[in-house]
Structure 1
């Protein structure tokens, strides 16, 4: 039987995704109560990082250890990947020694190519196209605070980047309406927009996008690998800063999320993370719990979320 991969939210059914985030809530409760739960004892996670990371590395490494397994950190400069060994060849060898792989990279094709030759599950820890693990944490955070997100309205403010693309996939899978406010020329990938149909609307005015929204989310204006564009982006995106006044236009019970790291004074005002509507710290912690549920789901443990 071929391995089950998680390269995109579309790799699971809607029911499986809901089951995973609900399981994340359960695993969070177990940890908060100090209950030892080690279903992945003896299993090993390999982690390939081409991009730097704080939350992704901590959450996967700590999560695997808490589930009773171990995690190995790999960077291209420490492996033959950095010397030009074909990705498929690396996948064959690594998957013969490991139980699950997580890859954080630039080109999404690196992950799909690795997965095609891997005999163990491969997880997308972030690519230039998508960041599905972050969306699991975001959806868990909303579920804990407000219940089901089905039928709600979400506003994405800023760059139509990999996070925005994953929010589009989330709109499809979790059945909510997504409004994207971005400057012209910085729209999300048209392929994802087309897939979502009438679930996604593109706005130029962030005030229109957030009006009545139940969740508002944003990200940095300059992603890794775009540093030479910083000055231009700061000017273009200035009207898209999320601040308390903008959140006041949203629903009275709105939540504000940011996948972090945040650049205060740029995509967010200096004080918005201190606003009671902001849940970025819970959101960051939930990377740990949602990914533990994902690891449990993908690795052969006999557990199947309902």
Structure 2
């Protein structure tokens, strides 16, 4: 068992004191979130976004959901805008949420598969970025290699959104945090426990949880830990924001006293040949009611889908504790919130969320 705990030490207390002093001095809080502008930015990883910027994205997303879904308003905020959607990897939620969301806001989405665009094969990523910048206002790319996104962003003159890469999946985490904010009423002080593979979804949790005051406990089998560079940055963030970060190989240790249990596929696209070995290595990691028995009484469950039985059993997945279907729906509202924020100066109309 390996374990790293960043909590309750003098350095954290000292840094937290400095953080609070800085907040008082520079007005961090509601006023600063209200004044945040993300127009023209790209979103490759939440590592590049501050606490206030992530909160702003969640606030805009909640606002659009309230106004469009609940109040039945028509908001053509992206009228006349066009979106290029590059998909090297197939997806249900990413495609449907982005395509329908952009159209709902009055824009025109264009879906491009590897058969349509031949990214990096018949045409370089550099040339593709420059060409699409002349056609579209924004590009979402779901790719194998994160370096492809970095090349696109370097050469494009329009915002680039990471629809998933081998290193990060930021748009999934925005949906997860909006779902938890809706359910619990606030994110600050929640404990999220990841039980599974050290993958791109986990990396995005690690780059954002501390910024929202969320404690993060991670259980991965030996050899399946998160990237070391991501761990190092997550350690720094946990110290900076005064949150807890735990790394272990024991699922029950990670689940102990947690508010939220999270897992994901153990065999991602491109890892099919490793399936037999991975299922053996992840033995004991299935989330069940027994796993939840050591969590807090109000524990809930998240999974970004598609789900397989070995990752979580039906008793949890279809229980009242499962938030997976509201989580899936929120993929739409958060990608809409992100696109609106990157393309416009939209100001939310609903009261600011409690974080």
State the TM bucket, normalised to the shorter chain. Answer: over 0.9
Extract structure 1 runs of 4+ deviating beyond 3 A: none
Query: Is 1:22 aligned to residue 59 of structure 2?
Result: yes
Shift of the alpha carbon at 1:139?
A: 0.4
Report matched runs for 1:212-251 at 5 Å: 212-251=257-296
Q: Could you tell me how far apart the structure 2 residues matched to 1:18 and 1:131 are? A: 17
When normalised by structure 2's length, the TM-score is 0.83
Q: Could you tell me how far apart the structure 2 residues matched to 1:126 and 1:87 are? A: 16
Report matched runs for 1:1-306 at 5 Å: 3-32=40-69, 33-81=71-119, 83-197=121-235, 198=238, 199-264=244-309, 266-299=310-343, 301-303=344-346
Is the 1:241–1:267 Cα contact (8 Å) retained in structure 2?
yes
More relative contact order in 1 or in 2 (CA 8 Å, sep 6+)? Answer: 2
When normalised by structure 1's length, the TM-score is 0.96
In structure 1, the gaps of 5 or more residues are: none
Shift of the alpha carbon at 1:175?
A: 2.5
Q: Could you tell me how far apart the structure 2 residues matched to 1:88 and 1:3 are? A: 19
Shift of the alpha carbon at 1:82?
A: 6.0
| CA-based RMSD | 1.4
Shift of the alpha carbon at 1:151?
A: 2.3
What residue in structure 1 maps to residue 13 of structure 2?
Answer: none
Q: Could you tell me how far apart the structure 2 residues matched to 1:289 and 1:87 are? A: 29
Give 3-state SS (helix, strand or coil) of 1:238's partner. Answer: coil
Larger radius of gyration: 2
Q: Could you tell me how far apart the structure 1 residues matched to 2:181 and 2:109 are? A: 29
Q: Deviations over 1:227-279 (max 9, x none)?
A: 00000011111210011111121111112100000002x11113321111110
Q: Deviations over 1:156-186 (max 9, x none)?
A: 0010010111110122322221111011000
